[in-house]
Structure 1
C-alpha cells in the first residue's frame, strides 16, 4: 500500500496530495490487491456510495458497489486477473433514487511494484452531460439525414471545399453517384465563370442567397439558386449548401419574355420588339452604308371576316398571312405584326428600288392567294406603303411613320396598291403643325376634361379607386381620347403642361368628393416618361398636394414599364422621394415591356396593372391566361396590388377571381365617366362600401 495513504501530518507532502484528491471533480479510490478492500477514497467517491471517508476504508468493492454492480464489473477488475497490466475503461448506466439515468465512466489502473501487483486505482467520472450532448447531436444529425433524404432540394456538405456528404437530390441534380462526389472539390461542379464568386462566398462564409450554374455529368448547364450556412461539428466546421434547381423558372421567364416581345397570336415580333430590331438593323446599315426597305402592310376588309364568320376565323387568317410573309422573305429580313391587321416587313441586305418593288409584288401575290378557313375560301388583299433608309428617315419611328403614311395613301387609291413614300406626302407635316398650334392653345386655355373610370375589388364589387383619364376638347372634333394626342404632345414638348393640369385637377376633384362625404378612395393619374427624365416630379407632386389639401395616400402615380427601366439619372431617387411623400406608385400596362423581378424589387412599386391585351384574350388564349397567372403570382410574392385592365365580360371576371386577381377596371364595371356622372355612380354604389 502506498505510503501516501498513511500520512497523518497535515503539513506533509502526503497531506497536500490528499487535499488535491479531495478537490478534483472526479471520484477517486485505491483498492488493495490481496484483500480487494478500499485503502483510500476521496470525499466524492465515498459520498457517491453513501459512506464517509472513514467508513469506506476497509470495505471491499463488492460491499461498496453492491451485488448487482459487482456481478456486472467483476470480470473487468485487474485484481481478478493479474495478467492485466493496462488500464481498463468501461461505462455503465446508473438509476438514481430520483429515477433519473446517470451515465458514469470508470477507469481502473493497476498498480505494480517490481512486477508484483499491489492494488488498483479507480477513477469514476460522471459523463451524463456529455452523453446528453452526444444524444442531441446524434438526433440532430438523424433529423438532418431524414430531411435531406426526403427534400427535393439538393443538399451538399463540404469541409474546406471537399464534399463530405450529400443527399439523393444532389446526385440526381449532378448525375454523379455519392461515392463519385465524396472528397472531390465542390468547385469542380460549378460553371467556370461562377467559380471565383463561389470561392469568395466560401472563404467569407457568406449565407445570403445567390444564383449560380452547376455542370451536370453530361455537360448540361443547370441554373440554381444557392444558399449556404456554416455548421459546427466535432470533426471540424463544415458548410451545408442547398441548391434549388431554377431550370423550370428560367424557362418560364424566357417564355414570358418571348410572349412580352411577340404577338401572342402569330408569334411574330410586336411593335416594341420591331423597334429594337430595326434600331440594330439601322445601326448595321449605317456602318455598311447600305439601304433598308420598310414595308407597311394593311389588309382590306379584314373586319368583315370577323363579323361574317367569327373572330376565330379571323385569327386563322392572320396566322396564315404571317406564315406566308415569313416564308416569302429572307432569314435576315424582319417580319412583325404591329396591329390588328397591320404587318411590317423590313428588307435588309441593301435592296434596290427594283428589288423592293419586286418583293412587294411577290408579297401581294402570296397574301391574295385564297385561304381555306372553316370550309370557306377567303381572299384578302393588301395595301402597302414603302419607306427607304436612309432617304426617307434614319430612325425606326420616322421610317415606320412614313411607310404608314405611304400605306394610307395606297389604301385611299384602292385595293392591292403599293405606294413609295415621296415628299408629296409631306402635306401631312402641315396638318401636324396646325394640330400642334391647336394643342398649344388648349394647354394655355385648359381645354381639357377629366373622365374617371372606377376600379373595384373582384371579390365583392366594392370601389377601390378611380383612374383619371384626360380628354381634349378639340374645337372641331369634340372630345378627343388621350391615345390620339398624348404621343403628339410628348413629341412636341407639351406633355409636361398636360400632366400637371391632369394631376392638379384630379387632386381638386378627389378632395371635393371627400368634402361631400363620398368614399375617400385613391385617384390614379398617368405621368409621361419625359416628366421623370426632365423634371423634379416629387417636388411638383408635393406642391400640388399642398395646394389642394389632398392627403398623399389618395394620389397614385401610374408609370409605364419603359419608364421603370430608365433607372439611370434621377429616376430611382425620384421614385424614392414620391414614396416618401406617401404617394402610391403603379406600373401601367404591365406585361408589354421588359421589366424584370430585379427592377420590381429595386423600386418602391405598390401596384401592377395587367395590360388589357392579356385580359381580353384570357378566356380563349392559354398563353394569355398563363401570363396573367404569372403576373398575379409574381405580384403576390412581392406583396404588390394587382389590377386587371380592360375587363369587359363576366367570363373574364370569373377567371380573374379564380386566379386570385384582387382588383379590376374596365367596361364591365363602368366606362370612364365625367366628374358629375362619376359622382352619381359613387352615390348609387355607396351601399357596397
Structure 2
C-alpha cells in the first residue's frame, strides 16, 4: 500500500501511520462497508471502475466528504492493486446542505417555509383522516407591520418578524406546526383539537405571547396579531382550501378591528368573490387590450451598463386599476386563458426586444417568464419559434425564465424541451433561485445559461451573515457550472458592492429602476448611457 502526501494532509497523519492501519480508524463505518462492496465488484469483474461519495474522519475529528474513484490494476492478467483517487468535496457538500436547509426553512425566521409547511400539513391531514380527529389551520398576520417598518426601519421589522416566529414556536405544542408564508404572514397548524374551545384556548395563548412589547434598539415596539381559523374536516378536506378559508377569516378579523380571532364561516366569501371576478375579467383582458408588458433593466455589475431587461406582465383592470401579477397569476395559470396570454407575453416581449435591437448595435437581451404549465404543455417551443419568426428577433436575445419553485421533473420531455430551445439559440434561466431546492446535479442536467438569485437572499446580504453565506454558496455553485448569475431585488449600494466583490455578474432591482412601460424604459436607457435603438423617439 502506498499513499501520497495529499492523502496524508487530508487525514492529518503521516504515511507510515496510514500504511497497514485499520480502515475504521479513519472512516465512517457505514461508508467503509459500502466501499468494501464496491471493491468486491471490481475484484469480481462486475465493474471496470467505480465512483462514490464517502466520509473520512481525520485525526482532528471533523468530517471530510470525498468523491472517490477506484479502479483495479492487473498484473499478469490477475488483480494486483487498487488505484484509489480521493477528491475533497467538503465545501460542495456544505453548500448543498445550506441550500437544502433553505429549501425547507424560511431564511429570515428559521421556521418552516411554504414548501415544508405544505408537506408537513399533508402528513398531518392524512393522520387526522385515519384517526377521525380534528385539525385547525390558523392564519396569522402581524397588525400594522407596515407602520413598524416605516417608523423604525426594515432592520427593526426583520427583528420583529424573527421574534414573532420565535414566540409562536415556543408557544405551541410539540405536535403543532409553525410556518411563514412571506412578509408578516404566518401559519400555525394545531393538531388533535377536540373542538373550537380547544382552538380558542390555544389561539388566546398565542395572542398573549405575541402581544408582549418588544424592545429593539432602544424602542419599545408594541405588537398585536390578527388570526383567522379554519377547521378540518368541518370546513374543508385539503390544506389549500383550509388555508384559503383561514385567509378569509383573517380578513374578517382585520375588519373587526384587528387583534382578534375569527373562525371561517361560509358567508366570508368576499376574497373568493374577488378571485372569481378577476378570473372572469381575465377571459376578456387580452382582447380588450388591458394587458401591458412592463420592463425592468438588468445591469452588468462590472461597468454598470444595461445588459438585459425582464418583461413583466401588468393588467389595467377597468375598475380596479393597475394590477400586479401576484393578484391574478394563480388564477391565470388555472384558467383556459393561461396558455393564450402566455403566448402573447412571449410575442410582445420579442416584438419590443426586436425594436430595441433593430439598429444592429449590441442591444439588450430580453427575459420572459414562462409558467410550469406552459413549459409542461409541450407547446412552448413552437410558441417561442413563432414569436422569433414573426418579430425577427435574434434568438440569442431571448432568455426564457423558469422559476426554481416549479421544480420541473428531470424527465426526457423536460430535457427535450430545453434542448429544443437551445437548438433555436434561446437562453434559459432558473428564476427565483433559492426559493426551492435544486441540487448541483439537478441544475447541471437542466443545463441553464443563467441563475437568477431570489430577492429573499439578496436583501441585506451585506449585513446578514446567513444570507451572505447562502449567496456565496450559490455563486460558487454557478461558477462550477459556468453559469451567469443575476441578483434580483438589489435595492442598496451596499448590497450591490457585496455582490460585485463576490463575483456576481449582473443585478436587477429598484436600485437601478422599477418595472416601467416601454416608453419610460427607453428614457431610462438614454439616461443610463446606451442608445435605445430603433424603438421610436424617447417619450417626453
Q: Same fold (TM over 0.5)?
A: yes
TM-score, L = length of structure 1:
0.71
CA distance in 2, matches of 1:188, 1:450: 58
Q: Quote the offset at 1:214 in angstroms.
A: 5.8
Which of these residues, 461, 469, 480, is aligned with residue 323 of structure 2? Answer: 480
Q: Quote the offset at 1:248 in angstroms.
A: 5.0
CA distance in 2, matches of 1:291, 1:507: 52
Distance 1:168 1:360, change over 3 A: closer
CA contact 2:203–2:261 (8 Å) conserved in 1: yes
Q: Quote the offset at 1:525 in angstroms.
A: 0.4
TM-score, L = length of structure 2:
0.89
Is the counterpart of residue 325 in structure 1 residue 168 in structure 2?
yes
Partner residue in 2 for 1:286: 129
CA contact 1:451–1:674 (8 Å) conserved in 2: yes
CA distance in 1, matches of 2:389, 2:222: 62
**Deviates further, 285-294 or 305-314:** 305-314
CA distance in 1, matches of 2:279, 2:181: 26
Q: Secondary structure at the match of 1:593?
A: coil
Kindly provide the CA deviation profile for residues 226-252 of structure 1, in whole angstroms up to 9, marking residues without a partner as x.
023455779984222123344554344
Aligned residues: 528
CA distance in 2, matches of 1:188, 1:629: 33
Instruction: Please report the RMSD computed on the Cα atoms of aligned residues, expressed in angstroms.
Output: 3.1
Partner residue in 1 for 2:273: 430
**Deviates further, 571-580 or 236-245:** 236-245
Alignment of 1:292-371 (within 5 A): 292-371=135-214
Partner residue in 1 for 2:294: 451
Kindly provide the CA deviation profile for residues 408-435 of structure 1, in whole angstroms up to 9, marking residues without a partner as x.
1011101321100010112443332222
Q: Secondary structure at the match of 1:422?
A: coil
Alignment of 1:70-89 (within 5 A): none
Partner residue in 2 for 1:178: 19
Distance 1:492 1:265, change over 3 A: same
Partner residue in 2 for 1:553: 396
Distance 1:668 1:188, change over 3 A: closer
CA contact 1:406–1:425 (8 Å) conserved in 2: yes
Which of these residues, 589, 605, 610, is aligned with residue 432 of structure 2? Answer: 589
Which of these residues, 199, 204, 209, is aligned with residue 40 of structure 2? Answer: 199
CA contact 2:248–2:270 (8 Å) conserved in 1: no
Which of these residues, 618, 629, 650, is aligned with residue 461 of structure 2? Answer: 618
Partner residue in 2 for 1:574: 417
Larger relative CO (CA 8 A, sep 6+): 1 or 2?
2
Kindly provide the CA deviation profile for residues 302-354 of structure 1, in whole angstroms up to 9, marking residues without a partner as x.
33333333433333332222222112111121011222222211011244221
CA contact 1:561–1:589 (8 Å) conserved in 2: yes
CA distance in 2, matches of 1:302, 1:586: 34
Q: Secondary structure at the match of 1:269?
A: coil
CA distance in 1, matches of 2:385, 2:155: 50
Alignment of 1:384-399 (within 5 A): 384-399=227-242
Distance 1:637 1:251, change over 3 A: closer
Greater CA radius of gyration, 1 or 2? 1
CA contact 1:518–1:682 (8 Å) conserved in 2: no
**Deviates further, 238-247 or 348-357:** 238-247
Which of these residues, 374, 381, 387, is aligned with residue 531 of structure 1? Answer: 374
CA distance in 2, matches of 1:436, 1:393: 22
**Deviates further, 396-405 or 620-629:** 396-405
Q: Quote the offset at 1:407 in angstroms.
A: 0.6
Q: Quote the offset at 1:181 in angstroms.
A: 4.0
Is the counterpart of residue 563 in structure 1 residue 400 in structure 2?
no
CA distance in 1, matches of 2:322, 2:106: 31
CA contact 1:298–1:341 (8 Å) conserved in 2: yes
Q: Quote the offset at 1:172 in angstroms.
A: 4.7
Partner residue in 2 for 1:211: 53
Partner residue in 2 for 1:276: 119
CA contact 2:229–2:263 (8 Å) conserved in 1: yes
Is the counterpart of residue 502 in structure 1 residue 327 in structure 2?
no
CA contact 1:564–1:599 (8 Å) conserved in 2: no
Partner residue in 2 for 1:648: 491
Distance 1:194 1:496, change over 3 A: farther
Is the counterpart of residue 679 in structure 1 residue 529 in structure 2?
no
